[in-house]
A and B are shown apart, each in its own frame.
Chain A
Amino acid sequence: NAGVTQTPKFQVLKTGQSMTLQCAQDMNHNSMYWYRQDPGMGLRLIYYSASEGTTDKGEVPNGYNVSRLNKREFSLRLESAAPSQTSVYFCASTLGGELFFGEGSRLTVL
């Protein structure tokens, strides 16, 4: 089973560029999440989608947008990347208990 798949795994952007991180899960989970992880810190919630058709802000939503494309897919978009958005991004999904995570996407903004 693939579980949660994130693309791309690595990306380097220049300040002001835009990009979209893609996430797909094959476990028929209702809820999906985007987190960022910075050195020395835990995971901080950016946005989440409790179910298909809904999205809500997390702890650090500024500078990001999301789209719950369908039940399987949840994308994260950076419209105008900033160096402060350099981080490792994790997508996760759940049916309401255990969170299942992707392997992460390492983003560097120069």
Chain B
Amino acid sequence: TQLLEQSPQFLSIQEGENLTVYCNSSSVFSSLQWYRQEPGEGPVLLVTVVTGGEVKKLKRLTFQFGDARKDSSLHITAAQTGDTGLYLCADSTSGTYKYIFGTGTRLKVLA
């Protein structure tokens, strides 16, 4: 059974700081997704990465996929209070429609 471990579990930073959160898998990813969840809502997709070594940018967010496709990182530059939320990585088991999620990183950006 694939396990997705995220670190750190909690992160509290000041507005304007940079941060990186990580997602590591016990097996090779099929296609890794990153979601953000705000309180009282369901998760919303940020990005999907498929190819080893792939880097995707979404404004101040940079997503990187490890060469061996077993790890991924999300880097936020100059964090804003609006970045506060729970960041989740997810993978769909190859050949199935089964999506599992990581343990999550709860980010709080202080003004």
Contacts and interface: CB of A to CB of B under 8 A. Distances in A.
Interface of A: 4, 30-31, 33, 35, 40-45, 48, 50, 56, 58-59, 90, 92, 94, 96-104
A92 B97 CA distance: 12
A59 B42 contact: no
Interface of B: 1, 4, 6, 9, 33, 35, 40-45, 48, 86, 88, 90, 96-104
Given A45-B101, A90-B42, 13 more contacts: A35-B101, A42-B6, A42-B86, A42-B102, A42-B103, A44-B101, A45-B99, A45-B100, A48-B99, A90-B43, A101-B42, A101-B44, A103-B42
A82 B65 CA distance: 40
Given A40-B9, A50-B96, A92 B101 contact: no
B48 A43 contact: no
A100 to B, nearest CB: 8
A31 B101 contact: no
Contact of A45 (B44, B98, B104): B98
A48 B98 contact: yes
Contacts of B102: 42
B98 A104 contact: no
Given A41-B103, A59-B1, A99 B43 contact: yes
Contacts of B90: 43, 99
Best-surrounded residue of B90, B97, B100 (most CB of chain A within 10 A): B97
B101 A43 contact: yes
A26 B32 CA distance: 25
Contact of A102 (B35, B42, B86): B42
Nearest to B45: A98
What 9 A-B pairs come out closest when comparing CB atoms? A101-B42, A50-B97, A42-B104, A43-B101, A42-B101, A98-B45, A31-B97, A42-B103, A42-B102
A41 B5 CA distance: 11
Nearest to B98: A48
A27 B98 CA distance: 19
27 contacts: A4-B42, A33-B99, A40-B9, A41-B103, A42-B86, A42-B102, A42-B104, A43-B43, A44-B101, A45-B98, A45-B99, A45-B100, A48-B97, A48-B98, A50-B96, A58-B100, A59-B1, A90-B43, A94-B99, A96-B97, A98-B48, A101-B43, A101-B44, A103-B40, A104-B40, A104-B41, A104-B42
